[in-house]
Amino acid sequence: MKGYRLLVACPDQPGIIAAISHVLARNGCNITSFDQYSEGPDGLFFMRAEFDLMANGEKGHEVLGKEFDRLAIEYHMQWRLTERDRAHHLAVLVSREDHCLNELLWQTEQGDIRAEIRVIISNHGDLRELAEHFRIPFYHIPVDPGQKAQSEEKVHQLVRDYRIDTLVLARYMQILTPEFVSHYPARIINIHHSFLPAFVGPKPYHQAYQRGVKLIGATAHYVTAELDAGPIIEQDVHRVDHRHQLDDFKRIGRQVERIVLARAVKWHVSDRVLVYGNRTIVFPI
């Protein structure tokens, strides 16, 4: 048996679950997990299912694809079918801070995040030793003034060479160009060190400290052309008060950032995040 995951989004109407279940049953699939969320009449329908299919090469996958193409026309449906046990390939982009990268390295090594970090890319050389410790290829690609396009083309080439599925910005302190981002829709995950939409842009801890907030947080989101405005995957916060100084904000925030980013990557690689417009549906574990 071969395992698959199916994600579906479409306008809500009666009969959707029955139609999908009928396709799966007719093709010898055994559903092992099923979750759906409906916003009711005139709203939207979202679904995630896992199922086993008798392994028979690519034929079964192709047949299912044709069946879901037919349903997509009938129900105005967006759908995605992935192999459950296929290794998900990650490229992690970093600058100088190592806390988020360390968390991703540890969780992938332990199997908590079921993915493989195939390459680490940085605009600085500081974290080369860490990458070498984990025996992961490290590439230092400086981003010099006026040379961003050339630097991004080098990243493109590494993505192709290492057959990368998803890019993770683990405190990569560079703004990617819209041209670069357009190549990877819902395939670049960023961690922003604030509880978005508050304190967008640079130095959010400075902004939060000056504002005197009582909660600081972190937000993992998909990267779009608009800075820090992509679909949000996960967020968390930590309480602070007047006794905490700016360095305390940063220290506490690093703990939140690493966990929030790891959760987002874990959910993404296990096909639990469905993007619809500028929002996400995150199916629970």
Catalytic positions: 228
Show me where the domains of the chain are located.
Answer: 2-83, 89-282
Burial class (CB in 10 A: 0-12, 13-18, 19+), 247: exposed
pLDDT per residue rounded down to tens, the chain (285 residues) = 889 999 999 999 999 999 999 999 999 999 999 999 998 767 999 999 999 987 664 567 788 999 999 999 999 999 999 999 988 999 999 999 999 999 999 999 999 999 999 999 999 999 999 999 999 999 999 999 889 999 999 999 999 999 999 999 999 999 999 999 999 999 999 999 998 888 888 899 999 999 999 999 999 999 999 988 999 999 999 999 999 999 999 999 999 999 999 999 999 999 999 999 899 999 988
Show the tokens assigned to 100.
């988020």
Query: What superfamily does domain 2-83 belong to in CATH?
Result: ACT domain (3.30.70.260)
Contact 245, 93 (CB under 8 A): no
Handedness of CA 16, 20, 26, 29 (dihedral sign): negative
Contact 238, 256 (CB under 8 A): yes
Query: What superfamily does domain 89-282 belong to in CATH?
Result: Formyl transferase, N-terminal domain (3.40.50.170)
What's the pTM value of the predicted model, to 2 decimals?
0.93
